[in-house]
Amino acid sequence: MDLSILIDLGLIVVAATIFGYIARLLKQPSLLAYILAGIVLGPIGLGALGYSFQGVRIGISNMQDIRILSELGIAFLLFSVGVEIDIRKFLGMGKIAAMGATLQVVLTIGTVMLFSLLFPGIISFEQSVFLGVILSFSSTMVVVKLLGDSYQINTLHGRLLIGFLLMQDLLVILAIPLLQDIETALSPAFLPLVVVKVAVLVAAAAVINRHILPRMFRFSLNYQEEFYLAALSSCFIFIGLAILMNLPIAIGAFIGGLALSTLPYNTEIFNKIRGLRDFFVILFFVSLGMQLTPSFAAVPFALIAFIIATVLVIKPVIYYFITLFSGYGSRISVMVALGLANISEFSLIVAQMGFDPTSPATSVLSEGLFSLTILTITVSMVLAPYLMGAQNGVNRAFDKAARHLPKKIKRKRFTAKLSSLENTPSKLCNHILILGGGTMGSNIAKALYKHYPTLVLDQDSEVVYSCMRQGIKASYCDAEETNELEKANPKEAKLVILAIPNIKASLKTLRFVKKANKNTPVFARAHYYKDALKLYEAGADFVCMPHVIGGNVFLKEISKFLESGKLATIANLENEYMEYLKQKAKEERQHLEF
């Protein structure tokens, strides 16, 4: 019995666990830990030493199988992204995403091709095409994970980032077949064929979403195992359809996720597949580190410097100006630019198309260039959390530089989109300031705004527009950006309510408010006990933990019943709650019937 794949998986999981613990102790990103684990297990780590124990080689022996499993990691991540996304919210970004991403990809490929012409002998023209495509795309996997970890997926810059990334992923559909056979790709029938394939896959998703998925999940909802299997089956069905149409499996998985995103059970589906997704994602990052070899050292320094400049300077600058000229302001533009200063997991597929390890001499990419590509992808992914974390510092530098520009340039042309989201009244005083207009924040605002002057601040443009439509004053604001928060005059507020889920942003806002006026009452929410303790220590006057309060009320009613044998009668609350449930159940039935 061949147990090599089992041993390989065991080594990967153990190495990832060890390096994960080390990363946590050093307060470093988990992505870095997994990539370093792969380097240790790969050809420049244990693989180079050739250790063996009782005839079993200590190192990864089934690299091809691991690559296939890691591709499933990409597919599962994009499937979960599709499930979580409210596609209607991102349709508003369609124009800028389509035009901006296409322009950036064309300009980046053109820059690399221009480099090959200006410096002949370093890389060939055909290599420049491959390298340009590799450097053009940014990592949906990394950016979505970082946005999700920081509760920023539904922010304005989060939507722009995902819009650009999704458009890039669609462009991969064109790039991969083109690079597989350039002569065939140049034929007039190529582009229409690819468009037809994508259209057929989307149409299949729409049909399955309308006629099959609602009934399947409604039946399996009461059976946990069947519900879990139904979610996995949906993913693999669309992966299979993508394979039949000769499309990347990740694209099929993403479209499959979108088909499930409109179901009322999409949150449960996302939670069910999260564990399996994380396992395959870890395999992907570990396998990325395992593909590094020392041969990249033979690549000319000029090419290395150019590749670094393209990823960290040229591509972000292109996105910065695209976003800025679209009217989203300098701050949002910097966030988008830094978020896209990395290379995509799909670039690995392109790189592997250009290099055949069994026949390096006939490959488009040399072994050194292929290894350099893997190293660049790895380093860009490792740097991604640090670059996105440096947004505030970069923005402060841009703000200082912008002071020397004419006011007309600063305010009008480059901030047109933001102007429609800014609705902060002047001379605010004795008002209620709510940061975070999600479910909790919006309910609080609805109850208060008719009786007290109320202002809601949120990073989600849809939340801001929703509040405006209901007559609630709202404005776009990043809770971690004190310059924007200062416009809302929190030091003279009657009450500040922190309803944002991000504890880091809550603490920063709380300290800012208390520094401006220590007597301003601040109410906050927390999910974990340690977060509640931090908020109290930072000066919060009241911290609400909804799940704890709900549990305590539940226990209180249970105790009353056990002591008296009588059920509590809260007529008004019970009637309102029952009406609410009836309305929601009716909406759910209508959706399932549709």
Query: Is residue 408 situated within a structural domain?
Result: no
Q: At what angle do helices 346-354 and 125-136 cross, to 10 degrees?
A: 160
Nearest to 153 by CA among 164, 144, 142: 144
Q: What is the pLDDT of residue 497?
A: 92
Per-residue pLDDT for the chain (594 aa), expressed as one digit of tens each?
456 777 778 888 899 999 989 988 887 777 778 888 888 887 777 765 444 444 444 455 566 667 777 778 778 877 887 787 666 655 666 778 889 999 999 999 999 999 998 888 888 888 888 899 999 999 887 888 788 777 777 788 888 888 898 888 778 766 776 776 655 555 666 667 777 887 888 888 888 888 888 888 877 877 788 888 888 888 899 889 888 888 778 778 888 888 888 787 777 787 788 888 888 878 888 887 887 777 777 888 899 999 999 999 999 999 999 998 888 888 888 999 999 999 987 787 788 778 776 676 667 888 888 888 888 888 888 888 888 888 878 877 776 665 655 655 555 556 666 666 666 666 778 889 999 877 788 888 888 888 888 988 888 777 888 888 888 888 888 766 777 788 788 888 999 999 888 888 889 889 999 988 888 999 999 888 888 898 989 999 998 888 777 777 777 778 777 877 776 554 455 565 556 556 666 655 554 444
Q: Which two tokens stand for residue 417?
A: 């989109």
Q: What is the pLDDT of residue 403?
A: 60
Same domain, 522 and 563: no
Residue pair 187/492 in contact (Cβ under 8 Å)? The answer is: no
Q: What is the mean pLDDT of the chain?
A: 79
Same domain, 393 and 487: no
Q: Looking at residue 291, what DSSP letter applies?
A: T
Same domain, 559 and 524: no
Q: Which residues contact 167 (CB under 8 A, 6 or more apart)?
A: 97, 98, 100, 101, 102
Q: What is the pLDDT of residue 103?
A: 94
Long-range contacts of 530-535 (CB under 8 A, 24+ apart): 531/503, 531/506, 534/503, 534/507, 535/498, 535/503, 535/506, 535/507, 535/510
Same domain, 173 and 311: yes
- The one-letter amino acid at 459: Q
Query: Is residue 415 situated within a structural domain?
Result: no
CATH number at residue 487: 3.40.50.720
Same domain, 367 and 490: no
Residues 137 and 347: their CA atoms lie apart, in Å, by 7
The residue out of 503, 528, 544 marking a domain boundary is 544
Q: What is the pLDDT of residue 56?
A: 47
Question: E strand or H helix at 464, and its extent?
Answer: helix 461-469
Same domain, 199 and 318: yes
Same domain, 53 and 180: no
Report helix, strand and coil shares of the chain as percent, to nearest 5.
70, 5, 25
Same domain, 10 and 41: yes
| Ramachandran sector of residue 461 (left: φ over 0; alpha: ψ -120 to 50; beta: rest) | alpha
Residues 381 and 387: their CA atoms lie apart, in Å, by 10
Question: Domain count of the chain?
Answer: 4
Residue 58 CA, chain-centre distance (Å), reads 35
Q: Which residues contact 578 (CB under 8 A, 6 or more apart)?
A: none
Query: Which DSSP string corresponds to 140-175?
Result: HHHHHHHHHHTT-TTSHHHHHHHHHHHHHHHHHHHH
Query: Is residue 404 situated within a structural domain?
Result: no
Residues 558 and 577: their CA atoms lie apart, in Å, by 19
Q: Label the pairing between strands 52-53 and 56-57.
A: antiparallel
CATH number at residue 254: 1.20.1530.20
Query: Is residue 410 situated within a structural domain?
Result: no
Task: Please state, as a whole number, how many other Cβ atoms lie within 10 Å of the Cβ of residue 255.
Answer: 22
Query: Is residue 414 situated within a structural domain?
Result: no
Enclosing domain of residue 12: 1-61
Q: What is the pLDDT of residue 311?
A: 93
Q: Where are the alpha helices (DSSP H) in 186-314?
A: 190-211, 213-220, 224-244, 249-261, 266-290, 301-309
Q: In b/e form, how buried is each residue of 130-142, taking b as 16+ CB within 10 angstroms?
A: bbbbbbbbbbbbb
What are the φ and ψ backbone dihedral angles of 406, each rounded to 5 degrees?
Answer: -60, 145
Nearest to 59 by CA among 3, 4, 1: 4
Residues 152 and 79: their CA atoms lie apart, in Å, by 19
Nearest to 291 by CA among 347, 348, 249: 348
Query: Is residue 525 situated within a structural domain?
Result: yes
Q: What is the pLDDT of residue 317?
A: 93
The residue out of 13, 29, 61 marking a domain boundary is 61
As a dihedral over the C-alpha atoms of residue 486, residue 492, residue 495, residue 501, rounded to 10 degrees, the angle is 10
Cα 126 to Cα 132, 249, 368, 437: the distances in Å are: 10, 26, 16, 51
Helices (H) and strands (E) in the chain, counts: 30, 8
As a dihedral over the C-alpha atoms of residue 178, residue 182, residue 186, residue 191, rounded to 10 degrees, the angle is -20
Residues 561 and 567: their CA atoms lie apart, in Å, by 6
Same domain, 22 and 106: no
Same domain, 515 and 576: no
Nearest to 307 by CA among 386, 390, 368: 368
Q: What is the pLDDT of residue 110?
A: 93
Query: Is residue 256 situated within a structural domain?
Result: yes
The residue out of 399, 429, 451 marking a domain boundary is 399
Same domain, 25 and 70: no
Residues 298 and 122: their CA atoms lie apart, in Å, by 12
pTM, rounded to two decimals: 0.72
Task: Please state, as a whole number, how many other Cβ atoms lie within 10 Å of the Cβ of residue 43.
Answer: 18
- Count how many Cα atoms sit within 13 Å of the Cα of residue 385 in the half-sphere of its side chain: 14
Query: Is residue 563 situated within a structural domain?
Result: yes
Nearest to 368 by CA among 299, 283, 464: 299
Residues 209 and 47: their CA atoms lie apart, in Å, by 47
Same domain, 529 and 565: no
